[in-house]
Copies of this chain bind each other. A is one copy, B any other.
Amino acid sequence: MFETAELGHTLKKSDYDKQVPELRTRLLTVQRKLRQTGFPVIILISGADGGGKGEVINLLNEWMDPHYLQTNAFDEPSDEEKERPEFWRFWRTLPVKGTIGIYAGSWYSEPLSRRVHRQINDEQLQIELMHIRQFEQLLIDDGALIIKCWLHLGRDEQKKRLKKLEKNPKTSWRVTSRDKKHLEMYDDFIDAAEKVLSGTSIGASPWLIIDGTDKHYRRLTAGRHVLDRISRHIDQRTADAGVIGKTAASAAMDSARPNSLDTLDLSLKLDEKTYHKQLDFYQDKLSKMARLARQEKRSSILVFEGWDAGGKGGAIRRLIHALDARHYRVIPVSAPTDEERSRHYLWRFWRHIPRAGNITIYDRSWYGRVLVERVEGFAAAHEWQRGFSEIVNFEEELMRDGIIILKFWLHIDKDEQLRRFMARGQISYKRYKLTEDDYRNREKWTEYELAANEMIIRTGTQAAPWILVEGNDKKYARIKVLKNYCEKLESILG
């Protein structure tokens, strides 16, 4: 696939000088338009040594407005990065909507390098590529534009270049032993690169292979490609905006679906004495298991969803009683901040992924996408509909990294909810929890029930099933939560 990039494309300096001013003007214009459209642009500049990656990156920074453009380089992961899933370091650098992120090194660097050095085989490479496709698709579905440029340099050109650099005393420092080793491995490198590029040239984010031999040619080609892709994406989005409005997928709820929540036995309860005995028992046990998990650097993520007044807060309180406050964090999820709103909806959850051995408790979570955002219409139908698989992929990614995930749905019936709302008015330190919204949300009970039910069916996986908690009796619910976390830790840590 690199043949056409070795045809020796060149461009005269005079032609280059003539064409650059217009290109710059148009890049600045399109960058300004981009700021108003509200999607992020991700530009990957990869390729062979000496293909001009650094130079092209510097040029893009110079040609465009550096205020709304950020270049991200990736060396060795920091220890904060190492203790989290592989993609965390990329999530944290994703550009804000309306801006551009240029990637010098990216999610491709590691798999490519590992394949070249034979640390993984072809099959393992394919699995890595699948994760990359998922990641990119997720961003593309959210409107992001991903532009991927590969600067190619043939073997002979590569050799010539190193020789030339070495001869000049001003540049000889740039030739390292690593460069020479890379030249020896050139064929392996090209072989692996071919697999990577062909495996990830998916429809919406194809690779452009650029002949990197001539500096004027590669600069202008890369610049024009960036300009062209952004312009077209802006036009496309403008055109789409009209269509989607008209043909929005039907968001009607399927009330004929089997309802797993209906089958819960809400009469389950514990008497006071049994409750306190079991509470002590499981808190004691959890305390030990959590300590063990921390020693073994296993993180946990606990998700609490359920009806308003379903007892999430109380269950969380009983849970943290057994934990060390230095090692857990409770994240209340309500309206996103503006920094969160200007990124992919999963970004706000990625930022709280715990370091190794810690626990993050989400009080409400990414499931808002297919619950409140769906029911209240905050997300369009096509957005929440793809949410199911996005969430499953997200959780699988966390689990691949060894993170333990538990998802609790705290279930009560409508009467019990009303009783609790009334009672909240009575207890002084609980009164603040009651808002008018609570009563309003009751009116959409059926819609929420259907949405919850579909969520449970479509996101309850073998590895991260929903734990449905019969919550009419708070004591029963709290023990069930504690018990489940204990047993999960036990099954994993032995």
- Tell me, rounded to whole Å, the shortest Cβ–Cβ distance linking A320 to chain B: 6
Within 8 A of B (CB), among A39-76: 54, 57-58, 60-62, 65-68, 70-71, 73
Assembled-state Cα–Cα distance A66/B332 (Å): 9
Q: How far is the CA of A401 from the CA of B381 in the complex (A)?
A: 52
Closest 8 CB pairs of A and B: A73-B326, A67-B332, A28-B429, A71-B325, A66-B330, A25-B429, A61-B325, A32-B432
| Interface set of A (CB-CB < 8 Å, partner B) | 24-25, 28-29, 32, 54, 57-58, 60-62, 65-68, 70-71, 73, 78-80, 102, 104, 313, 316-317, 320-321, 323-327, 329-330, 332, 337-339, 363, 428-429, 432
A329 contact set on B, CB distance < 8 A: 70-71
Q: Is the CB of A321 within 8 A of B62?
A: yes
Tell whether, in the assembled complex, residue B78 and residue A325 are in contact, meaning their CB atoms are under 8 Å apart: no
In the bound complex, do residue A104 and residue B67 qualify as a contact, i.e. CB atoms below 8 Å apart? no
* Residue contact A317 to B62, C-beta cutoff 8 Å: yes
Residues of B within 8 A of A102 (CB): 325
Residue in chain B with minimal CB distance to A103: B326
Identify 23 residue pairs between A and B in the complex whose beta-carbon atoms are under 8 Å apart, listed by A's number.
A28-B432, A29-B429, A54-B326, A57-B325, A57-B326, A58-B320, A58-B321, A58-B324, A60-B325, A62-B317, A62-B321, A65-B313, A66-B330, A67-B313, A67-B332, A68-B332, A78-B80, A79-B80, A102-B325, A104-B326, A337-B338, A338-B339, A339-B339
Closest to A322 in B: B58
> A326–B79 Cα gap in the complex (Å)?
20
Q: Is the interface of A mostly helix, strand, loop or mixed?
A: helix
Residues of chain B within 8 A (CB-CB) of A58 are 320-321, 323-325
Question: Given B79, B316, B324, which contacts A79 in the complex, CB threshold below 8 Å?
Answer: B79
What is the minimal beta-carbon distance from A121 to any residue of chain B, in angstroms? 31
Closest residue to A71 on the B side, CB-wise? B325
State the Cβ distance, A321 to closest chain B Cβ, in Å.
Answer: 6
Closest approach, in angstroms, between the C-beta of A355 and any C-beta of chain B? 8
- Measured CB to CB, the closest approach of chain B to A115, in angstroms, equals 24
- Chain B residues near A62: list those with CB within 8 A: 317, 320-321
A79 vs B60: C-alpha distance when bound (angstroms)? 30
Minimum CB–CB distance from A180 to chain B (whole Å) comes to 21
When chains A and B are docked, how far (Å) is the Cα of A30 from the Cα of B60?
Answer: 53
Whether the Cβ atoms of A327 and B67 lie closer than 8 Å is no
Q: Looking at A326, A327, A337, which has the most chain B CB atoms within 10 Å of its CB?
A: A326
Contacts of A338 in B (CB 8 A): 337-339
CA distance A247 to B401 in the complex (A): 58
- Complex contact A429–B73 (CB within 8 A): no
A397 to B338, CA, bound (A): 30
Q: How far is the CB of A349 from chain B (nearest CB, A)?
A: 16
Q: How many Å from the CB of A301 to the closest CB on chain B?
A: 16
Q: Which of B80, B320, B332, B339 contacts A61 (CB 8 A)?
A: B320
